[in-house]
Amino acid sequence: MNAYNPARARDLGAELKAARERAGLRQTEVAARIRRSQSQVSRWEKGQGVPDEAALGAMLLLYEVADDEHDYFLRLVREATNPDWVQPGVSRRLAATIESERTARLIVNVEPMIIPGLCQTEAYARALMTSMGRDEIDQRVALRMTRQALLSEPNAPEYVAIIGEHALRYPPCDSDIMRGQLYKLRDLGNLPGVSIVVQPFENQYTPTAFGPFAIFTPRHSGGPVVRREGLAATTTITNTRDVQTYQTAVDLIRRQAMSAPETSAYIAALLNEME
């Protein structure tokens, strides 16, 4: 199945894995009993695809899932495969990122060269989109501003933005726009659950040399997911060992980064320089 909602697929996968483990079965046993490959069962449990309703029904019978729970699993499948889960005018890769943000309890965003999208002012966002048409810029900027509302909601995820010093010292915009951006970073750092820290220029090795990435830890089910945003494509990483590599990288980056109070003082010093 090519098109599916990644966040809903991960929810379904986590529930299927839990049901299989409660039944005391291995993936190979399940695959043999439902006449599918072990790799298919594994992908479904990782949220890398969605079983059809026939395969789902066979698994639920095998796992001895109660009849009154079947509708719950069917709803997850239908939500995961709903063709209208992407908003009009929004690419699937962007829609997947928005869904990951919406369902996360923790977001760690590493951006070495620019201000992260959830922290950008409207003027800064526009400065990054100069190669697009006016209508597309307006649509994308409006969507980006709407996405930022989640940081101040009552049930907001914990959000950590690790920003490279380069992004603050060499902005892709004029000084007036950057001044407003710095004020916004300062204000965001005062929100509950939001931490803004700066990764300083260093001669030593840092994982930020390999580019930006974000780690989303779901609120309800499933393990963390890494998303690497490229110019024309997005890579989603769900393999536990690979995700752990990024989490270890974040631990190293945070040890190298300024603390939140140091970052606040640094931003204040930059604003003083610009006055």
1 within a domain of the structure (yes/no): no
Structural domains of the chain, count: 2
Structure confidence at residue 123 (pLDDT): 94
The pLDDT value given to residue 160: 97
pLDDT of residue 81: 79
Are 19 and 126 in a shared domain? no
- In this predicted structure, the answer to whether residue 268 has a pLDDT above a threshold of 70 is yes
Residues 6+ apart with CB under 8 A from 119: 148, 161, 163, 184, 185, 188, 196
How high is the pLDDT of residue 131?
65
C-alpha 28/C-alpha 211 separation (Å) is 38
Q: Which of 16-25, 83-92, 196-205, 218-227 has the lowest mean pLDDT?
A: 83-92
What CATH number is attached to the domain comprising 106? 3.30.870
- The domain that holds 35 is classified in CATH as 1.10.260.40
Co-location of 116 and 234 in the same domain:
yes
pLDDT confidence of residue 232: 62
Q: Select from 55, 80, 105 the last residue of a domain.
A: 80
Q: Which structural domain, as residue segments, surrounds residue 66?
A: 6-80
Q: Are 13 and 44 in contact (CB under 8 A)?
A: yes
Question: Does 221 lie in the same domain as 150?
Answer: yes
Q: Do residues 158 and 193 touch, judged by C-beta distance below 8 A?
A: yes
| Among 238, 260, 262, 217, CA closest to 109 | 217
Q: Which of 80, 113, 134 is the last residue of a domain?
A: 80
Predicted confidence (pLDDT) per residue in 191-226, tens digit: 999 999 999 987 677 887 788 999 999 887 678 989
Assessment of whether the complete model's pTM goes beyond 0.75: no
What pLDDT score was predicted for residue 140? 82
Residue-wise pLDDT tens digits, 117-150: 999 999 999 998 876 677 778 888 888 888 898 8
Can you give the pLDDT at residue 92?
62
d(CA 75, CA 72): 5
- Which one is predicted more confidently, 200 or 96? 200
> Is the same domain home to 112 and 31?
no
- The average pLDDT across 68-88 equals 75
